[in-house]
Structure 1
Amino acid sequence: MLMLGAVTTLRERVEEADLPLDIPDVVTGRATRDALLKQLDDYVIPRLRSLDAPLLAVVGGSTGAGKSTLVNSIVDAEVSRSGVLRPTTTTPVLVHHPQDERWFSDDRVLPGLSRVTGAPSKDDGGNALRMVASTSLPPGMALLDAPDIDSVVSANRALATQLLAAADLWLFVTTAARYADAVPWDLLRQASERGTAVAIVLDRVPPEAMADIRSHLASMLREQGLSTAPIFGIPEAGLTAEGRLPEQDVARLRSWLTALASDARARSVVVTQTLDGALGSLDARADVLVDATHRQAHAVAALNKASHVAYLDALSNVEHGMTDGTLLRGEVLARWQEYVGTGEFFKQVESTISKVRDRITAALKGQAPPAGDLGEALQTGVAALINAQGQGAAATVARQWRQLPGGDWLLDQTPELAKASPDLSPAIERLVRDWQGEVLELVRGEGKDRRTTARIAAYGLNGIGVILMLVAFAHTGGLVGAEVGIAGGTAVLAQKVLEAIFGDQAVRDMATKARKRLLEHVQELYAAERLRYAAALDGVGTRERQAERLADAAAAVKAVR
């Protein structure tokens, strides 16, 4: 059956759209989704699967309208508890002919309610459906006594609304004193909009006012598009000894229900009217849910972009810090001075370049000073730069998420995202060590011939590696005052040392490769950090594609209707 398949697919798409992010207007979207799921599960899908199932008439109405008394009177038995204490009906009661038990004993309709039988118990609760068989009710018709639509207990109100949405026919009970109240008419307007079949029971009407009240109620029904709804008036009178309405007062209603149950064609008309109305109402509610899903998807995209941009900026800042002289400040400069000579030497660099060359030559012929302290200073500086930007990116993401829809909720759910991961610092240490190893491999790769190998050996592989790292970072941007001259001397001297061993083009290539490999490592590290935010967003399960699938499913239902 095309319609059943289309509606089943729509139900799957509605369930997917769980709207997890707490963003503006999400309450409306969630309420729409819950109502859609319940009506699809409780009524539309079961009815499409079993068009010949008994007609289900749900008896609903306001507090104290006499719903339970009416049900007991129709079947002439105490099947639903009645009384002056409110609320009296907390567990819904479904009365059916014994032959129809199979239609209601399983979860074909109202699958969320467990079935109970036997004497009523205070432990039944609102999640149970009490099944009562009665031969007073004809086959083909079942009556369901629902909780009050305006109950002081919110769970009862929600259940009453759910049960009415599961009905083929609303048997709406009101009184002469309350028939114009707002709450009943809100539900009756919904019935009209959804095309639900409705019958009105006007209870406790003073006999002398019956004609006037019926006339006024009929005009109100016409205004709401319910002109075909029959009205059954029950005059105000004392109850029988058994607590039921006098027989003559319910005879007309009972006869109408019996005739409806006995006439397959009449039942089909009612079922078709309500089913078509329910199917027609899916469009507007699906549109509400599609819009809500779009808003969720847009919120996810904005949050995702915020984390992406924060770590892109962090990577850019690291790249800038690698080439603006930042890594040649402080400790690195001091260690470099110790490595090649005193600070006085650097003052002579620009004016006496020949002396620089002499110094290089002497260094190459003699024993080079230890490079360990300089290497450690470089390692510390690089690690500090990467760590500072990584920590800053996490703080930026947290700050921006707090300002974006849904971000507060996500950070409350995953507070660890408010800062960098605890593994960041150890990961950076491993990264820098690995990179230093790659720099040494670059040196080995370039020093293949005997002459170059000898020069490297004379100065020490680690020493040459440290000098290459220094050259990779030896740009003067960002330095001021005396630092510029020192850094300039650093760049010139380090460059000349390496050029004397490898040649100028090889040095440029190695320095470029060293910077590129370090930046690639940092990019991988920050990508792993950003995955934490992507995982949190994946966890909410909201994507633009969900909205599209939902809209397509709703359109498919409309196409086959």
Structure 2
Amino acid sequence: MWRVSSSGEGSTPLLPAVTRLRDAVEASALPIDVPGVDDARLARERLLDQLDDYVIPRLTSLDAPLLAVVGGSTGAGKSTLVNSLVGREVTLPGVLRPTTRSPVLIHHPDDARWFADQRILPRLARITGKHSSSDGPGAVRLVQTDAVAAGLALLDAPDIDSVVAANRDLAAQLLAAADLWIFVTTAARYADAVPWDLLRQASERGTAVAVVLDRVPPESLEEIRTHLAAMLREQQLEHAPIFTVLESHLENGLLPGPQTQRLRDWLSALAGDAQARSEVVRQTLTGALASLDARATGLAVASTAQVEAAAALEAAAADAYAEALSHIESGMHDGSLLRGEVLARWQEFVGTGEFFRQVESTVSRVRDRVSAFIKGEPAKAEHLGEALQSGVEALITNRADLAAGATARAWRTLAGGAPLLTAAPELTQSSPDLPARTARLVRDWQGDILEMVRNEGRDRRTTARIMAYGVNGLGVVLMLVTFAATAGITGAEVGIAGGTAVVGQKLLEAVFGDQAVRELARQARERLLERVGALYDEERARYQDAVSSVGTRPGQGTELKNAVAEVRSAR
């Protein structure tokens, strides 16, 4: 499975695969509050810690000293036990809880190189010297002593059930970094639920475990030991050795020598037997590697859920603005723009309602009437153009506002949406400068129409007709024809809008011909839709940017699954 090089450094095809898995785990952001995300975030943090603190360092240095982490519940006597094994106070016990603040790592001077750098526990600073009240969980205190045999180091960890959350988290992290977990409990608390949850995890991951049963009344020794052994068998930990420490008076703060002699001898023998140390490392490392599959696969599922949640948020915005654009397109066909001010200005432009009753007369009469009108009172073409411009601007802006509101409503019901709206309340409505950008868009579109009219009149005959009517006047009529279908208008407006459509159509056909008019109207609609689509894309991009800011990446779940498969193959 792996080998150790003569230089003492581990060499294994697993290492590159595990390193890539570690990078994929770190890159798997879980920022969106989907169901179950809190458990997934904790699992990700624990997995990343074990990869950094144990799996990768151990694969890199298979013959590094064995790390035995001493852990257990509050008040179990961990620090007193460690001090007693060393023969002096190296870690700080006490009656106030929590007592262990910074973890303390005790090692032989010859092994200093293995622990002074960031090979293991890379996110913990290294400190030395005597304990201080400022000690905290962000550092590990290194202690050198000949009382610990070379080849083995002891690490006194914080309480696994500490009232301080940071201590509990650090304890779990340190236990996951251990080659060997020395679990310390008492006769009164050996059946507590919290330590057994961790023992169950140790069993599932194949971690080597030894148990110290502390403060045992002599008269209850056999009964308690027998019960504890039975509980260990239930968790498939029947091979874990049990060391008992009877109730004793401390001598200068230390346990009597005979009470810790068996454990001391066992640790010394383990430190002095390279084969035995290798077996412990192999057992724990094999179990840790085996656990990566299910843990990383679970994280991949959670990571994919994040990508799907982000995609749902983006899709809500995309759907809202697509619907808005669809309404703009419908507005070009349903005649809804030809109401109110636009109709009034059109009637003013071509004359009274009597004019519409004469629509069926010859094209020349229509042309002559409108031509005379345009040339006689050009200002009224401007009035109609302004009314059309205002109507188009209002339609575009209104639909954008509705899309912003629809997106905000959808986000409040989708995972991760509400926090984004809280962080960026401006997303509940359109951009403040939308009206100004819309006005510029319509003016640019009007420029497109005028350019089309000019381009269409390149031959001399058509140019003469255009000059008879005026480019601006014809451009305004083309704008109107773009919106001049009648579906959706009811009552008296049907006749008026119908007349509007026919009159405008006939006028343009008189100048350009029927085929050219159809093509001009099509181009006018397309260009407006293109411009509005680009405007709505800019509005939608605000929501896309907000989703991107949370840090999910498309494919992050797939990357994890691929990395897991690579490790599985390498094993």
Partner of 2:319: 309
Partner of 2:230: 219
Pick closer, same or farther for the CA change 1:474–1:74 going to 2, 3 Å. Answer: same
Partner of 1:48: 59
Q: CA shift at 1:462, angstroms?
A: 0.6
Q: Is the 8 A contact 1:286 1:550 kept in 2?
A: yes
- Matched residues in 2 for 1:368 and 1:466: separation? 16
Q: Does the alignment pair 1:252 with 2:262?
A: yes
Deviation digits for residues 439-465 of structure 1 (CA, Å, limit 9, x no counterpart): 011111111122322222222211111
- Matched residues in 1 for 2:478 and 2:325: separation? 22
- Matched residues in 1 for 2:191 and 2:488: separation? 79
- Matched residues in 2 for 1:515 and 1:118: separation? 79
Partner of 1:21: 32
User: 3-state SS of the aligned residue for 1:59?
Assistant: strand
- Matched residues in 2 for 1:235 and 1:219: separation? 20
Q: Is the 8 A contact 1:368 1:458 kept in 2?
A: no
Q: Is the 8 A contact 2:293 2:568 kept in 1?
A: yes
Q: Is the 8 A contact 2:250 2:256 kept in 1?
A: yes
Which amino acid is the alignment partner of residue 189 of structure 2?
R
- Matched residues in 2 for 1:327 and 1:363: separation? 22
Superposed CA RMSD: 1.5
Q: Does the alignment pair 1:345 with 2:320?
A: no
Q: CA shift at 1:539, angstroms?
A: 2.6
- Matched residues in 2 for 1:444 and 1:359: separation? 22
User: 3-state SS of the aligned residue for 1:198?
Assistant: strand
User: 3-state SS of the aligned residue for 1:328?
Assistant: coil
Which amino acid is the alignment partner of residue 235 of structure 1?
L
TM-score normalised by length of structure 1: 0.97
Partner of 1:395: 405
Deviation digits for residues 36-86 of structure 1 (CA, Å, limit 9, x no counterpart): 000001111111111111001101111111111111110101101112111
Partner of 2:211: 200
Partner of 1:360: 367
Aligned counterparts, 1:186-197, within 5 A: 186-197=197-208
Partner of 1:238: 249
Q: CA shift at 1:175, angstroms?
A: 0.9
Partner of 2:175: 164
Deviation digits for residues 231-265 of structure 1 (CA, Å, limit 9, x no counterpart): 1111111010x110001111111111111101111
User: 3-state SS of the aligned residue for 2:67?
Assistant: strand
Q: CA shift at 1:365, angstroms?
A: 5.7
Q: Is the 8 A contact 1:299 1:406 kept in 2?
A: yes
Percentage of matched positions with identical amino acids? 63
Aligned counterparts, 1:133-152, within 5 A: 133-152=144-163
Q: CA shift at 1:374, angstroms?
A: 0.5
Which amino acid is the alignment partner of residue 508 of structure 2?
L
Deviation digits for residues 156-192 of structure 1 (CA, Å, limit 9, x no counterpart): 1111111111111111111111111111111111111
**After the TM superposition, which of the residue ranges 536-545 and 76-85 deviates more from structure 2?**
536-545
Partner of 1:490: 500
Q: Does the alignment pair 1:415 with 2:431?
A: no
Q: CA shift at 1:542, angstroms?
A: 2.6
Which amino acid is the alignment partner of residue 318 of structure 2?
H
Q: Is the 8 A contact 1:340 1:369 kept in 2?
A: no
Partner of 2:122: 111
Which amino acid is the alignment partner of residue 327 of structure 2?
N
Q: CA shift at 1:363, angstroms?
A: 4.0
Q: Which one of 435, 443, 458 corresponds to residue 445 of structure 2? A: 435
Deviation digits for residues 70-124 of structure 1 (CA, Å, limit 9, x no counterpart): 1111010110111211111111111111111111111111111111111111112
Which amino acid is the alignment partner of residue 377 of structure 2?
P
User: 3-state SS of the aligned residue for 1:164?
Assistant: helix
Partner of 1:77: 88
Q: Does the alignment pair 1:540 with 2:550?
A: yes
Aligned counterparts, 1:502-541, within 5 A: 502-541=512-551
Q: CA shift at 1:23, angstroms?
A: 1.1
Q: Is the 8 A contact 2:366 2:507 kept in 1?
A: no
Partner of 1:459: 469
- Matched residues in 2 for 1:461 and 1:443: separation? 7
Pick closer, same or farther for the CA change 1:342–1:202 going to 2, 3 Å. Answer: same
Q: CA shift at 1:359, angstroms?
A: 4.7
Deviation digits for residues 134-175 of structure 1 (CA, Å, limit 9, x no counterpart): 111111111111111111111111111111111111111111
Partner of 1:290: 300
- Matched residues in 2 for 1:310 and 1:393: separation? 5
User: 3-state SS of the aligned residue for 1:173?
Assistant: strand
Structure 1: tracts of 5 or more residues without a match: none
User: 3-state SS of the aligned residue for 2:337?
Assistant: helix
Which amino acid is the alignment partner of residue 490 of structure 1?
T
Aligned counterparts, 1:117-132, within 5 A: 117-132=128-143
Partner of 2:5: none
Which amino acid is the alignment partner of residue 568 of structure 2?
K
Q: CA shift at 1:438, angstroms?
A: 0.8
Q: Is the 8 A contact 2:366 2:503 kept in 1?
A: no
Deviation digits for residues 13-48 of structure 1 (CA, Å, limit 9, x no counterpart): 111111111111111111110000000011111111
Structure 2: tracts of 5 or more residues without a match: 1-11
Which amino acid is the alignment partner of residue 519 of structure 1?
L
Q: Does the alignment pair 1:329 with 2:336?
A: no
- Matched residues in 1 for 2:465 and 2:570: separation? 84
- Matched residues in 2 for 1:87 and 1:365: separation? 97
Q: CA shift at 1:361, angstroms?
A: 1.5
User: 3-state SS of the aligned residue for 2:431?
Assistant: coil
Aligned length: 557
Q: CA shift at 1:544, angstroms?
A: 4.9
Q: Does the alignment pair 1:91 with 2:98?
A: no
TM-score normalised by length of structure 2: 0.95
